[in-house]
Structure formats: C-alpha cells, structure tokens
Structure 1
Amino acid sequence: MRQLIAKLMSILGNREHEVIIVGLDNAGKTTILYRFLTNEVVHACPTAGSNVEEIIPRKTHFLMWDLAGQEALHSTGITYYSNTEFSIFVIDSTDRNWLLIAREELRKMLLRDASVLIFANKQDVKDSMSLVEISQFLTLSTIKDHSWHIRGCCALTGEGLQARLQWISGHG
C-alpha cells in the first residue's frame, strides 16, 4: 500500500489525471462514477460504450472513464489505457460465479503501467464475499510489480468510496 501511495503522490499535482473504471457487467462501475461526481445514487441503464466525467475533489482534477463490462476490456479498453495513471477495478462481491473471469481480467489489466484500486462492491448484501476471500481468489498477494489496494464498498450508500477518492487524490 505504501508503494501505491508513493506513486499517487508522485503523479498528483495541478494537472488532470486519467482514471479508468472497469469491471464485469453489473458490478456497479457507473453507480460508483456518479457517486463520486454527485454523491448521490444515479440509476443508470447498462453502459454501452463509456461514460466520462471530470471530478475535482480538493483541487485535484480527475478525468474518469467508466467503460462498459468485460467486452470493453477486450476491444475499446486498450485505447483508454494509454494515458491512464490509475485503474479502478470493480468487483461484485455477491457474484461468485464470475470471480474467475474477474481474476483473468485483472491480470490482463496488470499488463499496463497503472496502479489499481479494487473496489469490492455490494458489501452491504447478505452473503457477500469478504475482502479476504476476494483477495485470496484474485491471488492479490502475488502481485509484486504493480501498486494495488482492495477496499470494500457499497456504491448505493457511498460507504467506502469518498474516503478512497480522497486517499487517491493524496488528501485522505
């Protein structure tokens, strides 16, 4: 985690920072994006393509790209990775059936040179997987060449999100 904070501190300044939000279908990517932007729940249809928003917490500018589910990771996602400094990978903590695919997609993301924040979304739902369970299944402890951090959250209530955005921006 210290490596991730150091990298973030080195890249943050007065310029705009590009962040992509990716994950499998229905993980909560768009809900998280608009929770960052408005601090409210925005009910959205499944994303076709991408959403982009500028978010400015405490004078740090982020250009956040919310890419549609896993298909975007394979096709148009490559375009968005080129200037990305930070990736947010959203996991649906209730969907054990897709965790193997999530692990594969995370490994593909690690081919880029961006730090990764993993949001284990839907932690408020009964029988959701714990952070330890998700970390073990994603084999996060084996990731040595990238800065990463995992955090539980609930996109609907905002729990776990704002503190992480402040942490990313170097102010929290």
Structure 2
Amino acid sequence: MSVCLIGLHLCFRTLCCKGPPSARPEYDVVCVGLSGAGKTSLLSCLCQEDCDSITPTTGFSIKAVPFQNAILNVKELGGADNIRKYWSRYYQGSQGVIFVLDSVSSEGDLEVARMELHSALQHPQLCTLPFLILANHQDKPVARSIQEIKKYLELEPLARGKRWILAGSSLHNIEAVKESFLQLIKLLEDTQPVPGRL
C-alpha cells in the first residue's frame, strides 16, 4: 500500500508541482554569410530591436527570435575574412542553418559566398540539416533575381536530397522575411525530408 501511495505522490508532484511546459518549441539555428549581407539587421528587425545603429558582428552573437509557434535561438557568426575560417567551430548543436547573401554584391563577393555556402552545405555537422538561404537586399534596383542566384549558386545539384528554401529578403518587407523563417520552422518540425523549393 505504501508503494502505491509513493507512486501517487510522485505522480502528483510530476503533474502539479513542475513548472508549466514550454508553450513553444525552441530550435538552435546557426546564421552565416559574408560581412555586409545583412544578417544582423534582419535578425534585429525580427526581434523588434533598433536597426539604425547596426555594427558588423565580430565573433558571434545569439538572439532568441520569437514566433507564434516556435522560438529560434539564432547563433549569428561574423562574416569577415578572419572570422569565416572559424565558423565550423560553432556548428555543433545546430538544428538548422540560415545563410544570408547580398543580392547586389560584386561578382567576387558572390563567388566567395557561393564557396562558403557549398562548404556549409557539405559540412558533416550541417549536411543533413534544413537550410534557409536568404538573397537579401532584393529592394535594390540592381539586385539579382532569385532565379539568377539559384542558378549561380548551383543549388539544384548541390542541395539535391536536402531540405532547403531559397527566398528573397529585404528590411523593407520584413513580413516576407518572417514567412521565410516560418517555412524554416516547418522544416525543423518535419522529420521527413522534403525536396528543395522556392
């Protein structure tokens, strides 16, 4: 009888004394891209922080980006030349990847971004994770189109069999950025791989 009472007591404590369960799941995501791509600005806007005095990230920073159905703990890594070689040290524990590139960057910078994206997509700690690739600064008149970027980055052959999204982004349409992040959350929730899509 005493064993039953102990069991009931433990059950009661579990049900009544434990704090309320987290209302939203949390996912750890790494965010990479070259300096000037707009990573910090986009994340600050999503967190409703002041975007007027943004400075380039040196090292890394972490932001909890809240959505109605989940919280993304985004580890943003600086994109300067001397920092990129250390990116892989921060990949462990990631559940998803955000790669931001500048749609109006020079040919040289776009090529560097392409190489860094390929390296991330093939890294052992990231290669099975869902990817959100944001072609930023789409509001600029000279921005490359999403189709141009998709072709240049060689995404179709590279990301075959992976879960990925390529979307345009800009600070002037933060609602579209939120929608892209919500698509990433769907991929994070989904245990079955889905084909890449625009």
Same fold per superposition (TM over 0.5): yes
Whether contact under 8 Å (1:23, 1:29) holds in the other structure is yes
Is there any run of 5+ residues in structure 2 with no aligned partner, and where? Answer: 1-22, 188-198
**Residue 131 and residue 40 in structure 1: after superposition, are their counterparts in 2 closer, same or farther (change >3 A)?**
farther
The RMSD of aligned alpha carbons is 2.1
Which residue of structure 1 lines up, in the alignment, with residue 120 of structure 2? 109
Matches within 5 A, 1:76-91: 77-91=87-101
Matching residue within 182, 185, 188 for 1:169: 185
Whether contact under 8 Å (2:102, 2:135) holds in the other structure is yes
Is there any run of 5+ residues in structure 1 with no aligned partner, and where? Answer: 1-12
TM-score where L is the length of structure 1: 0.83
- What SS is found at the alignment partner of 1:166? helix
Show CA shifts across 1:74-114 (max 9, x none). 21x22321111111100100013211111110111012232
**Residue 160 and residue 39 in structure 1: after superposition, are their counterparts in 2 closer, same or farther (change >3 A)?**
farther
Question: 2 CA distance for matches of 1:167 and 1:16?
Answer: 15
**Residue 15 and residue 80 in structure 1: after superposition, are their counterparts in 2 closer, same or farther (change >3 A)?**
farther
Which residue of structure 2 lines up, in the alignment, with residue 151 of structure 1? 167
Q: What's the offset of the Cα at 1:20?
A: 1.2
Question: 1 CA distance for matches of 2:37 and 2:73?
Answer: 20
TM-score where L is the length of structure 2: 0.72
Whether contact under 8 Å (2:98, 2:131) holds in the other structure is yes
Matching residue within 144, 163, 166 for 1:129: 144
- AA matched with 1:29: K
Which residue of structure 2 lines up, in the alignment, with residue 16 of structure 1? 26
Which residue of structure 1 lines up, in the alignment, with residue 70 of structure 2? 60
Rg bigger for which structure?
2
Q: What's the offset of the Cα at 1:134?
A: 0.5
- AA matched with 1:43: S
Structure scoring higher RCO (CA < 8 A, sep ≥ 6) equals: 1
Q: Percent identity?
A: 27
Q: What's the offset of the Cα at 1:49?
A: 1.0
Whether contact under 8 Å (1:53, 1:64) holds in the other structure is yes
- What SS is found at the alignment partner of 2:47? helix
Question: 1 CA distance for matches of 2:183 and 2:131?
Answer: 13
- What SS is found at the alignment partner of 2:88? helix
Runs (4+) of structure 1 moved beyond 4 Å?
Answer: none
- What SS is found at the alignment partner of 1:163? helix
Q: What's the offset of the Cα at 1:156?
A: 4.6
Q: What's the offset of the Cα at 1:146?
A: 2.0
- What SS is found at the alignment partner of 2:141? coil
Q: How many residues align?
A: 158
Question: 2 CA distance for matches of 1:96 and 1:116?
Answer: 24
Whether contact under 8 Å (2:131, 2:184) holds in the other structure is no
Q: What's the offset of the Cα at 1:127?
A: 1.1
